[in-house]
Structure 1
Amino acid sequence: MLKFKIALIFFLPLFAFSQNEKWPAEKLKQDLTIFKEIREKANSGLYKYRTKQQIDSIYSWAFSQINTPKSLIEFYKIVLQITDFEGSLHNDTTLPEDFEKKYSSGNVFFPFPVKLINDQLVVNFQNSKIPLGSQIYSINGIETSKLLSTVYKYYTTDGYNITGKSIGIGSSFAKYFEMEYGPQKRFTVEYSLPNQTKRLKKTVSAVSNEIRKENFKKRHSLPIDSIQYNRAKDKYSFKVISNNTALLSVHTFVIGRNAKHKEHLAYKKYLDSCFNYLSKNNQIKNLIVDVRNNGGGTDPNDIVTFSYLAEKPFRENASAYVNFQKIPFAEYLVYEETEPQKKQEEKKDFEDELKEEFPKSENGKYIQDEKFNPLLQAEKNSFKGQIYLLISPRIASAGSLFASLVAGNTKGIVIGEETMGGYFGHNGHTPIEYELPNTKIKTQFSIVNLEQDVPKKPNQIFGRGIIPDYEVKQTFEDFMKNRDTQLEYTLKLIEE
């Protein structure tokens, strides 16, 4: 599958407006018009989950919000609302780097990491001010339910999924709060102590971004969820955990750039040795496959992994297409290269690859050539026993494609929480980035609209992530003791 990323590596020009200065409405409308036209021409997933009427409606709302001058932050939040509304976890819209650094400088951040436990916002940090595990009801007078709904737009997910936004809340709550409600010097927190209902209040001082990051590294839940937010040191592992059960954990599919990369080849060799062992050991009837921390990666790691679980021939996807072969609005592209000649070469290489993989036009769509989506065979030593797939809201992109294939095309039992990546499909594989001419806001999205090779199932809903057969969430007690609720549940299910 084509892998190409246009990324910004040069420095942005000095920002023309101060943090609080208002931008003229006409400049903002120019940028919003370009933003809309780019997505209509280039984004094949624009109408994947929303009708044209719904998309037109949100743009009508957006234009109505900029009839008067707005600050850059105010305009950014409007554009971000549209980005999130489209429903793709590969969507990303960002402020100019120099502006964000200035805006977020100083002691302006909420000091404590938090975590959503059964829809309750709890303190995820051992400290002397507000005890670990305390439930937060409001911050600076803003009720938690309202607070969460306003910051959801900062972390995009596929379709109508909400569970995946908990990952963003857990990692970047303080940043989202500062962006949404402005820099704060202090925070008045209404809370209750663990396992109590009496509401208390305490005011705590804001901290710097550096301290915010250090506190996050020291959060209470680090032993359980650390891999969710950091690239795994041990990307994959295999172990026999009882006389009849083995555990395969794959924390990421960022395992080499392509099928020829030495890191991918080492992974393939490792998988082969694991499944050779399983095929020769008839006592091991159960295989737990843990991909709860897998946020995606590169081909063909996801497909190779599934080939050891597949029961029959399969494809990576049922269909795939893009909207263009010639890049629209190329004048606003963000390039890797800086020299004009090299930019043109980069653009040509990208378009040539698109023409090779998506050569045929049908009803305004360029369809993927079959040679890029061949029929694949299950490995000879593929596992023949019972599969238990552990999933979570962290699973996205290639991680969710793999999990969808297991959930849809095997007899595997799926345990955990709904993924942020879609079951039926997503927009992925090929990211492209643009920069708006006035505000210098950057927007990135993936251009390949693909339908995954999975069947319809009663418990799988269009526009949602992979729905588990057994929904198992971490309990508050398990959070406090850092116990792995889903794994323990699975082991008990196997015993029974």
Structure 2
Amino acid sequence: MFKSKIMLFVFIPFLMAAQNQKLSVYELKQDLTVFKEIREKANSGLYKYRTKQQTDSIYSWAFSQINEPKALLDFYKIILKITDFEGSLHNDTTLPENFQNKFSSGNVFFPYPVKLIEDKLIVNFRNTEIPLGSEIFSINKIKTKELLASFYKYYTTDGYNISGKSIGIAGSFARYFEMEYGSQKKFLVEYSLPDKSQKLLKTITGVSNEIRKENFKNRHSLPIDSLQYGKIKNKYSFKVITPNTSLLTINTFAIGNNAEDKEHLAYKKHLDSCFQYLSNNLQIKNLIVDVRNNGGGTDPNDILTFSYLTQKPYRENAEAYVNFQEIPFPNYLVYEETEPQKQHEERKDFEEEIKEEFPKLENGKYIQDEKFNALLQPDKNSFKGQIYLLISPRIASAGSLFASLATGRTNAIVIGEETMGGYYGHNGHTPVEYELPNSKIKTQFSIVNLEQDVPKKANQIFGRGIIPDREVRQTLEDFLKNKDTQFEYTLKLIEQK
């Protein structure tokens, strides 16, 4: 249950010779047919946000696009559009490894990191050509709104969510641009200076992939968003920040692999000590829980953490199910093992685990056994004061499951921006990966369709991320100062109360 798409989309555009190779109409239609049948048989979330009629419609569109031979990249974009349309942040579609391992030659990447601030595309790098904080209106005469919409398919989110796509766009803007519009030696940028309305034009030169990556490492916003991209070293922390307020920060739930893992047990011990301290110091009436950088992780870290915030029994899921007990289309499955006999054993072990957890067929669904979704109890030292939950578009998977429980089943005042992970549920837990026979495109998705154990709330919309009670976004002024807008807002709110 982990969301780290920035690292998963490792495509580096391939050489011109490879670009000119095309798949025949027969090969394209065969791959698209296999792709469609796999989703219908194995993907329990296929109709979670889209009706069968809507899904059939996008496949009709896809088939209409392959009436002549196509380059692999063009077919890849069609597949991406379908996987994004399904609405699951656990959907991943990648090009063949031999294509991914090839580099573009020359300086063809947009040179400067960007960031979405108040829905505007802002330069996120100090340079001498287009000043930091400038708003970009178009690049090579392509309007920003059109640019952003064309990039959405490269970074999937739950349901109809758009806010979470800002994470992918900020992290991979130059690569998305190259993939979508081809290699560019020059970029004609229409922009305005910070807090100015006059539009200016500047032609800037493309850079190599190495310089692109180096510039991103040196982006202006690094002090604020470093934990949203790359490896997280400080996974969690706790501190008392005023006599009546404490801060619990959980940057990831990738804390050990299971309940017996030493890292998980150390985390549990840490939580025990933190909440015992709070229980013994009743003057601390406010707890800020900051999960803004939490892209997910592993069970049971998310539901364990929630036990320290709730006063009532709870479950992880209201319902969970899969579509199958025996893996459909095993000949297209991507195995960890390489030997046929070991692959057979790997598949059988997987199917036995599925049959144990999802034993009963009801209305075409294999329902999760209750022993895997037990009724859980609050911790004896669970916090009884006021909770302030800080959220952001980065929150996904196990991070959004935890945030949903805290939003729906505690007194938390939720502050920040809509998450990319859904409030009511998602597809997660167990990923499978298939490889299409001709294009060798790989497609991965999670097979467990789960409804989270949260109540309906008027401000929580099906198909959207968690909606904050108080939407607080970074302004351009705060961006330029690298100011933590949501955290400072929360401290002021506590002070006023």
Normalising by the smaller structure, the TM-score range is over 0.9
Structure 1 residue 102, shift from structure 2 partner: 3.0
Distance 1:394 1:112 in 2: 21
* 1:457 matched residue in structure 2: 457
Q: Which amino acid aligns with 1:388?
A: Y
Corresponding residue SS for 2:38: helix
Q: Secondary structure at the match of 1:220?
A: coil
1:218 matched to 2:218? The reply is yes
Correspondence for 1:382:
382
Tell me the percent identity.
78
Q: What does residue 396 of structure 1 align with?
A: 396
Structure 1 segment 178-257 matched on structure 2, within 5 A = 178-257=178-257
Q: CA 1:103/1:47 → structure 2, altered by over 3 Å: closer, same or farther?
A: farther
In the TM superposition, what whole-angstrom CA distance separates every residue of 1:451-470 from its partner, at most 9, and x where no partner exists?
A: 00000001000000100000
- Paired with 1:417 and 1:333, the residues of 2 have a C-alpha distance of 38
Partners of 2:464 and 2:103 in 1: how far apart?
35
Quote the Cα distance in structure 2 between the aligned partners of 1:316 and 1:440.
36
Q: Distance in 2 between matches of 1:47 and 1:275?
A: 41
Q: Is there any run of 5+ residues in structure 1 with no aligned partner, and where?
A: 2-7, 9-13
Q: Aligned to 2:241, what secondary structure does the other structure show? A: strand
Q: Could you tell me which residue of structure 2 aligns to residue 350 of structure 1? A: 350
Distance in 1, matches of 2:317 and 2:398, equals 11
SS of 1:122 mapped into structure 2 = strand
Note if contact 1:19-1:103 (Cα within 8 Å) is conserved in structure 2.
no
Structure-2-length-normalised TM-score: 0.96
What is aligned with 1:5?
Answer: none
Counterpart Cα distance in 2 of 1:113 and 1:277: 43
Distance 1:445 1:120 in 2: 31
Match of 2:5 in 1: none
CA distance in 1, matches of 2:438, 2:106: 27
| Counterpart in the other structure of 1:11 | none
Paired position in structure 2 for 1:446: 446
1:168 partner letter = G
Could you tell me how far apart the structure 1 residues matched to 2:207 and 2:334 are?
Answer: 34
Q: Which amino acid aligns with 1:382?
A: S
For 2:238, what is the secondary structure of its paired residue? strand
Query: Is the aligned partner of 1:478 residue 2:478?
Result: yes
CA distance in 1 between counterparts of 2:211 and 2:97 reads 20
Give 1:262-301 correspondences, 5 Å limit: 262-301=262-301
Q: How does 1:393-432 map to 2 (within 5 A)?
A: 393-432=393-432
Q: Shift in Å at residue 188 of structure 1?
A: 1.1
Please say which of residues 463-472 and 187-196 is displaced more in the overlay. 187-196
Which residue of 2 is the match for residue 108 of structure 1? 108
CA–CA distance in 2 between the matches of 1:166 and 1:138? 17
In 2, Cα distance between equivalents of 1:239 and 1:227? 19
- Checking the alignment, whether the CA contact within 8 Å between 1:258 and 1:298 is kept in structure 2 is yes
Q: Which amino acid aligns with 2:114?
A: V
Q: How many residues align?
A: 485
| Cα distance in structure 1, aligned partners of 2:33 and 2:469 | 44
Alignment of 1:13-24 (within 5 A): 18-24=18-24
Q: Could you tell me how far apart the structure 1 residues matched to 2:341 and 2:104 are? A: 37
Query: 2:324 corresponds to which residue?
Result: 324
CA distance in 1, matches of 2:68, 2:129: 43
Residue of structure 2 equivalent to 1:310: 310
Deviation string, structure 1 residues 27-78 (Cα, Å, up to 9, x no partner): 1000000000000000000000000000000000000000111111111101
**What is the correspondence of 1:20-31 to structure 2 with a 5 Å cutoff?**
20-31=20-31
Distance, in Å, in 2 between the alignment partners of 1:253 and 1:38 is: 30
Question: Bigger CA drift: 189-198 or 104-113?
Answer: 104-113
1:18 aligns to what SS in structure 2? Answer: helix
The equivalent residue for 2:70 is 70
1:22 Cα deviation after fit:
2.3
Worse-matched range after superposition: 365-374 or 208-217: 208-217
| Equivalent position amino acid for 1:33 in 2 | T
CA drift at 1:103: 6.0
Q: Which residue of 1 aligns with 2:87?
A: 87
| Paired residue type of 1:347 | R
Q: What's the Cα RMSD here?
A: 1.5
Displacement of 1:214 after TM fit? 1.0
Partner of 1:190, secondary structure, is strand
Which range moved further: 51-60 or 213-222? 213-222
- Give, in angstroms, the shift of residue 101 of structure 1: 3.6
Q: Distance in 1 between matches of 2:315 and 2:375?
A: 5
TM-score, normalisation: structure 1: 0.96
The structural deviation recorded for 1:186 is 1.5
Moved over 2 A (4+): 100-107
Q: What residue is the counterpart of 1:130 in the other structure?
A: 130
Q: In 2, distance between residues paired with 1:63 and 1:113?
A: 36
Query: Is residue 2:117 matched to residue 1:117?
Result: yes
Q: Secondary structure at the match of 1:102?
A: coil
